[in-house]
Amino acid sequence: MLECGQYNKLWHSIHMMPEETVKAYKDLHGNYLLPIHWGAYALSVHKWTEPIEKLKKAASEQNIKIITPKI
């Protein structure tokens, strides 16, 4: 489970960008990536579904299996 949401370039030391979440997952050598902290609260200026859309794209490019709950 890795966080993937409520990010902003100004908050780089607090929350990861979706692409950074994929990189962290690769560093951990997991079996499945379960992104968390997206679609729950609107704290940032990105669109509601942007975190999961960007994460899915980055994960797909690296053949990473992700699992997500249905929100």
pLDDT in tens, 47-67: 888 999 999 999 999 999 999
Look up the pTM and report it: 0.85
Below-50 pLDDT ranges, the chain: none
Q: How far apart are CA 45 and CA 6, in angstroms?
A: 8
Q: Is residue 3 part of a domain?
A: yes
Rounded distance between C-alpha atoms, residue 68 and residue 53, angstroms: 12
Provide the pLDDT for residue 39.
77
Q: What is the pLDDT of residue 28?
A: 96
Q: Is residue 24 part of a domain?
A: yes
In a domain, 9, yes or no: yes
Q: What's the pLDDT at 22?
A: 97
Residue span of the structural domain in which 26 resides = 1-40
Specify if 56 maps to a domain: no
